[in-house]
Amino acid sequence: MLFKNIGASVSRTFDILLFCILLLAGCGAAPKQSPAGVLPEVTFDADSAYAFVAGQVAFGPRVPGTDAHHDCVQYIGRTLERFGAKVEVQTGEVMRYDGEWQHVANICAYLPADSAYACEPHVLLCSHYDSRPWADQEDDYDQRMTAIPGANDGASGVGVLMEIARQWPQLRERKRPVDIVLFDCEDMGTPAFYTGQQRNHTWCLGAQLWARQYSQKVNANAIQEHKANANQEYAFGILLDMVGDPNASFPREYYSEQYAAKYVDKIWRAAEQMGFAHRFVSDKAYPITDDHYYVNTIAKIPCVDVIHYVPGSETGFAWWWHTHNDDMNNINPNTLQEVGKVLMQVISE
C-alpha cells in the first residue's frame, strides 16, 4: 500500500512537501492564458465511470468497520494512485448518533496542475463512499436493519470522480490543482427507528472531521504568518451525491445557493451550454444537510451540492433512497457521463 494513513491530524510532511513543490514550480509566475472563448475539449468515458461504480458495489455495502469498507478503501486508493494521484487517508474519531465514538477514514487524492498553474487556488471535488448501515426507508420492517447497496447513494459520485482522475493526465491543460476528497460516514445519521436521545449533526461525520481539521490548519497558518485573514487553499468545491439514476435531475439546493451562489451559476450555466439543462434544472431544492453544509460552514469553502432531489416525493429523494433497491439497476452510464462532462468543463475553465 503506497497511500499513507495520515492519522487524526493532516500530515505536516505533506504540507512541507507541497510547499517545496510549489517553491520549485516557481509560484508567483503568471499562468498562461488560453485564447478567449476557446473551450478546452472535455472527454469522459461513461462505461469507465460505470465500471468504477460497479467495482465499489461488488464489495457489498461499504459500512464502516466491515471488510467491504476496508477493501473498498484499498480499491479506490490504489486505483487513484495508478492514475497518478497522490493519495492519503485522513483518519479520526467522531461521535455518532448513539453517543459512541466512530472511526472515520476520508480518502484524499491530489491531482496537480501544470507547473504554470501550480499556485492557482485548488478546486475541491467530493463525494461520500460509505453505505448506509440501515435500509430505514423500507416499507417492510424486517428489511430495515440491513445495509443498503449504496450504488447511487455513495458509489455513483465516487465513480464519476475516479473517472475524472483517470482523465486528468490526458487533458490538454490542467489549469488548477484539484483535490478529490471522498468522505466516510456520511450516511450514519440517526436511523428513523432510533428511540434513544436525539443528537444534532449525526450525518456527514467524515466531512465534519475534514472541515474541522482544514479550518484548524488554515487558522494556524494565519497565526504563524501574522495575518488577520486566513489564506484559503480552495476557490470552491463541488459535492456529488446520487448522480447515477436514469431520471436524475439536480435542482439548485438551498445551502448551495446561500453559500456558493456564484458557483451554482457557473456549474448550471456550463451544463446548459453543454445541452444538459434537463439534468441541471432551474428549480430550487430545500436545504439538505449533506457534506457540503460542513464544508461551507466549518471550512468556509463555497461548496455546491449536485444532488438528485425529487420535489413532491415523500422523502424528497428517489423511490430507492435508503432502501435495498439502491443498486446497479438504477445506475445509468449516460447520467454519470453528463455529470462528469460538466465537472470536467468547470475544472478546465
Contact footprint for Zn ion (CB under 5 A): 132, 153, 187
Nearest CB to Zn ion, comparing residues 88 and 187: 187
Stretch near ligand 1BN under the rule CB under 6 A, chosen from 27-35, 48-56, 168-176, 283-291:
283-291
Nearest CB to ligand 1BN, comparing residues 91 and 289: 289
- Please calculate the CA angle 157-213-25 and round it to the nearest 5 degrees: 80
> Residue 155 carries which DSSP code?
I
- Asked if 326 interacts with ligand 1BN (CB under 6 A), we say no
Closest CA to 107 of 130, 132, 83: 130
Interatomic CA distance for residues 94 and 76, integer angstroms: 23
Strands 101-111 and 86-95: antiparallel
Nearest distance from residue 175's CB to ligand 1BN, in Å? 31
Nearest CB to Zn ion, comparing residues 86 and 132: 132
Return the beta strands (E) in 185-272 as ranges: 234-241, 250-253
Nearest CB to Zn ion, comparing residues 113 and 148: 148
49 binds, among ligand 1BN, Zn ion, none (CB under 5 to 8 A by kind): none
Nearest CB to ligand 1BN, comparing residues 236 and 320: 320
- Asked if 290 interacts with ligand 1BN (CB under 6 A), we say yes
Report whether 260 contacts 303 (CB < 8 A): yes
Interatomic CA distance for residues 182 and 186, integer angstroms: 10
Using alpha carbons, list the distances in angstroms from residue 41 to 86, 179, 341.
Answer: 25, 21, 10
- Asked if 288 interacts with ligand 1BN (CB under 6 A), we say yes
- Please calculate the CA angle 289-243-122 and round it to the nearest 5 degrees: 70
Reduced to 3 states (helix: H, G, I; strand: E, B; else coil), residue 103 is: strand
- Asked if 320 interacts with ligand 1BN (CB under 6 A), we say no
48, 215, 289, 297: which one binds ligand 1BN (CB under 6 A):
289
> Residue 202 carries which DSSP code?
-
Nearest distance from residue 187's CB to ligand 1BN, in Å? 5
- Asked if 245 interacts with ligand 1BN (CB under 6 A), we say no
Nearest distance from residue 186's CB to Zn ion, in Å? 7
- Asked if 187 interacts with ligand 1BN (CB under 6 A), we say yes
Strands 250-253 and 280-285: parallel
Give me the residues that bind ligand 1BN (CB under 6 A), please.
Answer: 153, 187, 189, 203, 241, 288-290
